[in-house]
Amino acid sequence: AEDGYDLWLRHEKVQDGGKMARHATAVVAPGRGATALAARDELMRGLAGANGAAPALADKPMNGAIWLATPASAPDLPVKLDGLGEEGYAIRSVTLDGQSVTVIAANGDAGLLYGAYAYLRLAETGAPLDRLDIRSAPRMKLRLLNHWDNLDGTVERGYAGQSIWDWWRLPDWKGPRYTDYARANASIGINGTVLNNVNARSDSLTAPYIAKAAALADVFRPYGIKVYLSVKWTAPMELSGLGTADPLDPAVAAWWKAKADEIYRAIPDFGGFLVKANSEGQPGPQDYKRTHADGANMLAAAVKPHGGIVMWRAFVYAHDNPDDRAKQAYNDFKPLDGQFADNVLVQVKNGAIDFQPREPFHPLFGAMPRTPLMMEFQITKEYLGQSTHLTYLGPLFEETLKSDTFARGKGSTVARVIDGSLEGHKLTGIAGVANIGADRDWSGSIFNQADWYAFGRLAWDPDLSAEAIAREWAAQTFSTDAKVADRVVAMMMGSREAAVDYMTPLGLSHVMGTGHHYGPAPWISELARPEWNPVYYHKADAQGIGFDRTRTGSNAIAQYAPPVARMLADPKTTPERDLLWFHHVGWDAKLKSGETLWNGLIRHYDAGVAYVAAMRRTWDSLRPYVDAERFAQTQSFLGIQHREAKWWRDASIAYFQTLSKRPLPAGTAPPE
Ligand code: GCW
């Protein structure tokens, strides 16, 4: 639909000169399980749209058929499945008894579902379909959305309307939107969802809410998606009047065990718990002088008999950090490496502060070899312009995943830490804080849908490039016509860097307005806790600007592996994009370009604004090719973004100039 409801699953007729007509006129789908049927139905639905004609359902492989096959349904499959696991798939063009058939084969039905979506993706992005020979399996076991949805229907850091979970009418009313949600997620490989906010309320563990969660789990199950819950540490006290939540108290452990048993009776394939403890006012084991490991292991024991897991967040931000907030997670968790139960993952944000437009990778990656670390990205754009700014996050995700921790020498990328290959972990995962709400377009804007899409694709394969993903998304969302797709991809690819430029250039961070995190406020200095204040992060003064995290400052760089720490010790070898994250630099110091830091900062702010102006022109040129509704929304939002990029630039420069006392560089009229 033109309101964006169909996301990237629009299945519009493919302009391919009949390629599909030759390869996808019939579907053979012998499987009878719920997931096999979902795979069949998705394929039928997608082909009907993409081909312009509904395919036939056939009993056995014939010319032009797509054959969904598992070893259970087809004993002598013409495809090897070893190494594909339960979720992987193979797609092959084969000739059987003289008939050309496309086999989508998998060990299990989930693989068929992912294979069906992969085939549609190929067809709808214009790939050749006649000599297919593809094998694909997910690199991460847990590929999860984290909803920060509250039980009252609001969404923390949600910019797409109210929660899509209609708690009031669940468990009875299971609206069609839940199925569409599951389809969208399955189409990009997401296999789990945490339903409620990490700032959790105990109510989510009461019998009525367990029944509601179970109803959602029933809808999601055919699509390979498991349900998880965030839990509040003091739930045993709040719900059952226990006098303590001490994880080593046997009554507390028994309470959680009974609670887990109750949940598994309602949801036999329940995934497990996500926990935010001792952070931003949330209670936790440290309140009882116990460690995060004590807490995580107690919960892990409760879900273990059922095959459940615990995701324990490392976003701890519990006490004043006059020195450097960026160091707290490492200081709290690194000493616990090796102490966690084998069904616990520690979930770490991509950077050490908080989902900034750019952060260097979190120093915990690579630093806890004996603990599976799960990545937490934020898909919802709390700090990157929320619903209206077009800031495609693919490049941000990619940059973090490709960062080299040097934990075991060169090539120890963050991707290899979280996919388990670096340290041989089997339990692996990645989570994205969802940008989904009740808005018709789900994500608050058409272009924000791309961030959800990119997250899922990278969770399946962290080696994909953000650009290739943008291309796929643009083709499915708008058109395979190069006139359209090339321009859309070009806009997207530089858009996050543009936001970095007009918000937080050269490694600045956390200068957003307090609370809402929208718009510039680098001048704020009077808030009670030191690290609530933007001035704490940029540290601008008459001499210069930036946070000294070297030995002369907080020495946070010592948390990185020695080769990284050595590189970051010197401003000359520090990547310029992170310069002010690690160093306090004089206003007149020279950048690589030869200009002074002050002039360079201004050039970056200007470049960010200029990029947005260019996106507006590009988008305007696409008017003939995009439907009126989606065209108008994006056009209007780009107008907001342009105005606000100038606001960011002008307010930031005006404030920093009161400290730098340098003139604006001559001859740089602000580009419009
Ligand atoms: O990014 C910050 C947000 C909080 C959030 C917290 C967290 C859920 O501003 O809204 O709370 O991080 O990740 O726990």
The two tokens of residue 444 are: 């608050």
Coil, helix or strand at residue 526: coil
Q: So what's the pLDDT on residue 669? A: 58
> What single DSSP character describes residue 447?
T
DSSP β-ladder status, 585-586 and 544-545: antiparallel
Q: So what's the pLDDT on residue 526? A: 95
| Residue owning the nearest CA to atom 1 of ligand 1 | 354
Quick one: which atom of ligand 1 is closest to the CA of 198?
8
Q: Is the CB of 359 under 6 A from ligand 1?
A: no
- Give the C-alpha separation, 68 to 103, whole Å: 6
The preferred substitution site among 147, 148, 386 for testing ligand 1, maximizing ligand atoms within 8 Å of CB, is 148
| Structure confidence at residue 195 as a pLDDT band (50, 70, 90) | very high
Residues of the chain with CATH 3.90.1330.10: 505-547+584-660
Ligand 1 centroid to residue 433 C-alpha, Å: 10
Q: Is the CB of 382 under 6 A from ligand 1?
A: yes
| pLDDT tens-digit series, residues 288-344 | 999 999 999 999 999 999 999 999 999 998 777 889 999 999 999 999 999 999 999
Least confidently predicted of 22-31, 312-321, 391-400, 624-633: 312-321
Q: Is the CB of 198 under 6 A from ligand 1?
A: yes
Q: So what's the pLDDT on residue 2? A: 87
Calculate mean pLDDT across residues 632-656.
Answer: 98
Quick one: which atom of ligand 1 is closest to the CA of 355?
1
> What's the CATH number for 505-547+584-660?
3.90.1330.10
Of 476, 629, 354, the closest CA to residue 49 belongs to 476
Q: So what's the pLDDT on residue 56? A: 95
Q: Is the CB of 229 under 6 A from ligand 1?
A: no
The two tokens of residue 642 are: 């342009």
Q: Is the CB of 148 under 6 A from ligand 1?
A: yes
- CB proximity list for 474: less than 8 A, separation 6 or greater: 450, 484, 485, 488, 489, 492
The preferred substitution site among 197, 315, 379, 512 for testing ligand 1, maximizing ligand atoms within 8 Å of CB, is 315
How many Cα atoms occupy the beta-carbon half-sphere of 13 within 13 Å?
7
Q: So what's the pLDDT on residue 668? A: 62
The preferred substitution site among 147, 280, 350 for testing ligand 1, maximizing ligand atoms within 8 Å of CB, is 280
Ligand 1 centroid to residue 509 C-alpha, Å: 16
Ligand 1 centroid to residue 146 C-alpha, Å: 12
| Structure confidence at residue 247 as a pLDDT band (50, 70, 90) | very high
User: Which residues belong to the active site?
Assistant: 280, 354, 382
Residues of the chain with CATH 3.30.379.10: 19-136
- Give the C-alpha separation, 255 to 192, whole Å: 25
What does pLDDT average to over the chain?
96
| Residue owning the nearest CA to atom 2 of ligand 1 | 354
Ligand 1 centroid to residue 154 C-alpha, Å: 14
Ligand 1 centroid to residue 476 C-alpha, Å: 32
Whether residue 672 is predicted with pLDDT greater than 90 in this model: the reply is no
Q: Is the CB of 355 under 6 A from ligand 1?
A: yes
Least confidently predicted of 56-65, 159-168, 406-415, 580-589: 56-65
Q: Is the CB of 317 under 6 A from ligand 1?
A: no
> What's the CATH number for 19-136?
3.30.379.10
- CB proximity list for 20: less than 8 A, separation 6 or greater: 14, 47, 50, 51, 123, 129
Whether residue 671 is predicted with pLDDT greater than 60 in this model: the reply is no
The two tokens of residue 470 are: 């943008």
- Give the C-alpha separation, 603 to 79, whole Å: 56
| pLDDT tens-digit series, residues 419-478 | 999 999 999 999 999 999 999 999 999 999 999 999 999 999 999 999 999 999 999 999
Ligand 1 centroid to residue 155 C-alpha, Å: 12
Beta partners for 85? Answer: none
Ligand 1 centroid to residue 441 C-alpha, Å: 24
Calculate mean pLDDT across residues 219-223.
Answer: 98
| pLDDT tens-digit series, residues 559-569 | 999 999 999 99
Q: Is the CB of 381 under 6 A from ligand 1?
A: no
Q: Is the CB of 40 under 6 A from ligand 1?
A: no
Quick one: which atom of ligand 1 is closest to the CA of 433?
13
Ligand 1 centroid to residue 468 C-alpha, Å: 30
> What single DSSP character describes residue 380?
S
| Residue owning the nearest CA to atom 7 of ligand 1 | 315
Ligand 1 centroid to residue 529 C-alpha, Å: 16
The two tokens of residue 288 are: 């009882």
| Residue owning the nearest CA to atom 11 of ligand 1 | 199
Q: Is the CB of 157 under 6 A from ligand 1?
A: yes
Whether residue 670 is predicted with pLDDT greater than 90 in this model: the reply is no
The two tokens of residue 93 are: 């063009």
Whether residue 22 is predicted with pLDDT greater than 90 in this model: the reply is no
Quick one: which atom of ligand 1 is closest to the CA of 157?
10
The type of residue at 361 is: F
Beta strands per DSSP E along 89-190: 89-96, 99-105, 133-136, 142-146
| Structure confidence at residue 19 as a pLDDT band (50, 70, 90) | confident
Of 165, 153, 140, 155, the closest CA to residue 433 belongs to 155
Q: Is the CB of 276 under 6 A from ligand 1?
A: yes
The preferred substitution site among 382, 384, 514 for testing ligand 1, maximizing ligand atoms within 8 Å of CB, is 382
Q: So what's the pLDDT on residue 319? A: 76
| pLDDT tens-digit series, residues 123-166 | 999 999 999 999 999 999 999 999 999 999 999 999 999 999 99
Quick one: which atom of ligand 1 is closest to the CA of 199?
8
- Give the C-alpha separation, 638 to 646, whole Å: 12
Q: So what's the pLDDT on residue 16? A: 76
Helices (H), 419-547: 449-460, 466-477, 482-503, 534-538
Peptide bond into 171 cis (omega under 30): yes
CATH of 142-477, one of 3.30.160.270, 3.40.190.10, 3.20.20.80, 3.40.50.300: 3.20.20.80
| pLDDT tens-digit series, residues 379-427 | 999 999 999 999 999 999 999 999 999 999 999 999 999 999 999 999 9
> What single DSSP character describes residue 169?
T
- Give the C-alpha separation, 48 to 45, whole Å: 5
- Give the C-alpha separation, 203 to 141, whole Å: 29
| pLDDT tens-digit series, residues 484-532 | 999 999 999 999 999 999 999 999 999 999 999 999 999 999 999 999 9
What percent of the residues of the chain are helix, what percent strand, and what percent coil, each to the nearest 5?
Answer: 40, 10, 45
How many CB atoms lie under 10 A from the CB of residue 291? 18
- Give the C-alpha separation, 596 to 58, whole Å: 70
Q: So what's the pLDDT on residue 96? A: 93
Quick one: which atom of ligand 1 is closest to the CA of 279?
14
Calculate mean pLDDT across residues 268-297.
Answer: 97
Whether residue 168 is predicted with pLDDT greater than 60 in this model: the reply is yes
The preferred substitution site among 147, 154, 155, 156 for testing ligand 1, maximizing ligand atoms within 8 Å of CB, is 156
Q: So what's the pLDDT on residue 666? A: 81
- Give the C-alpha separation, 86 to 16, whole Å: 33
Q: What is the DSSP string of 311-378?
A: EEE-----S--SS-GGGHHHHHHGGGTT-S-TTEEEEEESSSSSS-SS-PPPTTTTT-TTS-EEEEEE
Q: So what's the pLDDT on residue 18? A: 75
Ligand 1 centroid to residue 79 C-alpha, Å: 46
